[in-house]
Structure 1
Amino acid sequence: MSKLEVIGMVGTREESEAFASDTSDAIDVNYLRRFAKAHDEAGFDRVLIGYSSSAPDGFAVAADVLNQTTNLGVLIAHRPGFVTPTVQARKLATLDQLSGGGRVAIHHISGGSEIDQRRDGDFVDKDGRYRRTAEFIQVLRKTLYSEEPFDFDGEFYTFEQAYSTVRPATAAGIPIYFGGQSPIAVEVGAANTDVFMLFGEPLAETAERIALIRETAAKYGREVEFSLSTRPIIADTEDDAWKRAQAIYDAAAARVPDAPSKALWFSGNTNAAVSAQRLQELAAEREVHDERLWFGMTKLAGPGGNSTAPVGTPDQVIETLLRYYDLGVTKFLIRGFDPLGDVIEWGRALVPGLRAAARDRGAVNA
């Protein structure tokens, strides 16, 4: 089995569903650096740097995170269509070279919100965005690894004699991540990505998605890895963990009236992505699936993405995550409702415990 990878997520100011930022500035440099270092010290492999049409530039944030840490890698989210794939490839390879190699990965988000896409001037329809993502990844990969200039003539991109003198610094290259669950997204991801990212659905639904994606990838003669995104809530006892979940819900619910104008986390129900809608349907069925996968925040926040939470003691949450590991998930993206505090807490038991338990499951490289 492939190496188990634990991924976090950094933000440029301290804010969560449960509490507002104490600054109106988009970037709190000191907080970002403390956040990055906390992940490094807690043993995370890399951190996701998110993307929106109003957020700070992800590449600049990634460069600072890499400069402030020793081992931590970055997973830079971006939306194809705003920077050409040849330029993006050179940016990635340059950052990889400057950071010592093996610490840079890229996540492709085709875009689920028409409003957010159009803020950046993108009026391509949803299916078109996925076709564009497919071309983008193909050109990106060729630019990173082709030893000769190449031509490309597609629906969205045309290049003549494209070539890059800068390459990834190590044999690990630049891992390519992708997310999306519509039929066209499954086709594009299965045909092109290295890692297919999934939201934290229940085990049965996750198994079904993995089987579908694997079957689709096999048509292209490919295999892909899987990442799962959840929001663990842990405490010394299970009862205390559920009390903590309720406190988080109550704090977030108090913010909802002001959220559309004041909170970065609130989706405003504008996300039409199939993956986000699937979570809402599951949340409507019941609040808790598979004993401890909590959908309370999912229902409250709307279709904004990663919001489901395994709730329990560290050992209980580890066992929950290992059930996904048994299905074929090798990468776990975990972020907290108390972002910095949770990372520090997870470094004591959750992260090392997950690695040790995965090793016991038989993964030599866990």
Structure 2
Amino acid sequence: MTVKFIGYIGFNDTSEIHNAARSRVLDREYVDAAAIEQEKGGFDRVLIPFGSASPESQIVAAHAAAITKKLGFLVAHRPGFTQPTLAARQLATLDQLSGGRVAVHIITGGADEEMARDGDVHTLKAERYLRSDEYIEILRREWSEKQPFDHSGRFYEARGAFSAIKPDNLPVFFGGSSPEAIEVAGRHADVYALWGETLEQVGEAVRTVRRAAAKHGRNPGFSLSLRPVIADTEEAAWKKADAIVEQVRANREAAGLPTSGHRPPNAGSLRLLETASSQRRDSRLRTGVAQLTGAAGNSTGLVGTPEQVADAMLEYYDIGIDNFLIRGFEPLADAIDYGRELIPLVREKVGRRDERKVALAG
């Protein structure tokens, strides 16, 4: 098992600790710098996010691919708003033009109000997972079928569907903690994506998804999303993490946003919020930002020196995590630090660990 690192290209250099209203919605200079620096820093891929009010992820990925040579792109994509036959050709085209550097992260959508902004006002969450299931099935057929095919399902119907352009190898990432999500992941996910929970919780999730995938003869990889906070000393790292939490609190209070009493609409955020019942879990998992934001997305992180955080990441690696999606609260500056101080260290430690396993097996 090799370890891969996924970075992040938002649309400007802001995060929960900044006043995003003061930034351009799409900052091309930041996008360029983020792509170039993360390629230089040894990231395997970068996630391009999706939102109902944000710039379009595939177009941003196409731009970033044009100014890089090796960096891969994990394009967040939400079913339900593009016909899957068209989406398959769009993604395959992007994959071909980038030289086989594309993966897709299927975002089903757990929040009704988020879906309604794009016109999906009637489907329930369970139905949306059924739709994602059918959507991915059609994507894969478009990418693999050598002859036109017909499809007649609950959500989509196509006659003589065919894509002349095929991707080289386009992995499907998928997340979600509800039973419906686990079933879809078992059938389709090449990589199952988790947020940063405790070792015990992550281990249980890995086992659950593996059982679901085994029923279909599949063995997916696993991605863990984290917001690492690193510094030269452990004391400085925890002080930095505490300052981040307080800045997030101040920003939310100034904006009139709640800092407690959250009830997230999706199972994954609920799980993460339960994890955040204490600000510190295991030895290094910091959950303070998740508490304040209602676990709205990737918001937990490992805290310590690069050596300490690398060792903590290896504990997750040992229970099945082979992809780490890492992004900072200072997006560009932290990505540069990760590439310089964290990624090489984790790769070195994983290499030594795997060499010992091979030696013992021999």
TM-score (norm 2): 0.94
The residue identity in structure 2 corresponding to 1:350 is L
The structure-2 alpha-carbon separation of the partners of 1:327 and 1:200, relative to structure 1 and needing over 3 Å to count, comes to same
Q: 2 CA distance for matches of 1:141 and 1:268? A: 41
Q: Secondary structure at the match of 2:298?
A: coil
State the match for 1:61 in structure 2: 60
**Is contact 1:336-1:342 (8 Å) kept?**
yes
Equivalence map 1:238-257=2 (5 Å): 238-257=234-253
Instruction: State the partner residue of 2:107.
Output: 109
- Which residue in the other structure is 2:281 paired with? 289
Partner of 1:122: 120
Does the 8 Å contact 1:50/1:77 carry over to 2? yes
Counterpart contact for 1:267–1:304, Cα < 8 Å? no
Residue aligning to 2:323 = 331
User: C-alpha separation between the residues in 1 aligned to 2:39 and 2:275?
Assistant: 34
Q: Is the 8 A contact 1:113 1:270 kept in 2?
A: no
Shift of 1:271: 4.1
For the structure 1 residues 323 and 79, does the alpha-carbon distance in structure 2 shift closer, same or farther, using more than 3 Å as the test? same
Tell me, in whole angstroms, the C-alpha distance in 1 between the residues paired with 2:181 and 2:355: 29
Displacement of 1:270: 7.2
Deviations 1:212-239 (A, max 9, x none): 1111111122111110001000001100
Distance 1:65 1:122, change over 3 A: same
Describe the superposition over 1:220-269 as per-residue Cα deviations: whole angstroms up to 9, x where unpaired: 221111100010000011000000001111111110024468xxxx9995
Q: Greater CA deviation, 218-227 or 43-52?
A: 218-227
SS at match of 2:139: helix
Q: How does 1:296-307 map to 2 (within 5 A)?
A: 296-307=288-299
What is the Cα deviation at residue 152 of structure 1?
A: 1.1
Aligned residues: 354
* Counterpart Cα distance in 2 of 1:351 and 1:202: 21
| Deviation per residue, 1:28-84 (Å, 9 max, x gap) | 111111111111111100100111100000111001111111211110001100011
RMSD over aligned CA atoms reads 1.8
> 3-state DSSP class of the match of 1:25?
coil
The list of structure 1 runs, each at least 4 consecutive aligned residues, that deviate by more than 6 angstroms after superposition, is none
Aligned to 1:272: 265
Relative to structure 1, the CA distance from residue 270 to residue 166 in structure 2 (aligned partners, 3 Å threshold; closer, same or farther) is farther
Q: In structure 2, what is the Cα distance between the partners aligned to 1:222 and 1:28?
A: 40
**Closer, same or farther: CA 119–22 of 1 in aligned 2, 3 Å:** closer
Q: Is the 8 A contact 1:260 1:267 kept in 2?
A: no
Q: 1:41 to 1:187 in 2, by over 3 A?
A: same
Aligned-partner residue type, residue 38 of structure 2 = H
Q: Find the aligned partners of 1:231 and 1:321 in 2 and give their Cα distance.
A: 12
What is the distance in 2 between the residues matched to 1:235 and 1:24? 27
Percentage of matched positions with identical amino acids: 45
Q: How far did residue 293 of structure 1 move?
A: 0.3
How far residue 357 of structure 1 moved from its aligned partner, in angstroms, is: 1.1
Of 308, 311, 323, 1:316 maps to: 308
Matched residue SS, 2:340: coil
Q: Partner residue of 1:86?
A: 85
Q: What amino acid is aligned across from residue 181 of structure 2 in structure 1?
A: A
What is the SS of the residue equivalent to 1:115?
A: helix
Q: Which amino acid aligns with 1:44?
A: F
Alpha-carbon shift at residue 179 of structure 1 (Å): 0.6
Give matches, 1:1-366, under 5 Å: 1=1, 3-21=2-20, 23-101=22-100, 103-123=101-121, 124-168=123-167, 170=168, 173-259=169-255, 271-284=264-277, 286-362=278-354
SS of equivalent residue, structure 1 residue 52: coil
Partner AA of 1:118 in structure 2: A
Deviation at 1:21, TM superposition (A): 3.5
Task: Tell me the amino acid that sits aligned with residue 267 of structure 2.
Answer: V
Cα pair 2:260 2:291 within 8 Å, conserved: no
Counterpart of 1:63, as a letter, is A
Aligned residue identity for 2:11: T
Distance 1:82 1:223, change over 3 A: same
The whole-number CA distance in structure 2 between the counterparts of 1:270 and 1:290 is 24
Q: 1:201·1:279 contact (CA, 8 Å) conserved in 2?
A: yes
How far, CA to CA, are the matches of 1:30 and 1:347 in structure 2?
20
Cα offsets for 1:67-114 (capped at 9, x unmatched) = 11121111000110001111111011111111122x101001110111
Residue 24 of structure 1 and its aligned partner are, at CA, apart by 4.4
Distance between the aligned counterparts of 1:7 and 1:363, measured in 2?
Answer: 24
User: Kindly tell me: are residues 268 and 86 of structure 1, through their superposed partners in 2, closer, same or farther at Cα, counting changes over 3 Å?
Assistant: farther
Q: Structure 1 residues 259, 189: CA separation in 2 closer, same or farther (over 3 Å shift)? A: farther
Separation in 2 of the partners of 1:363 and 1:11?
36
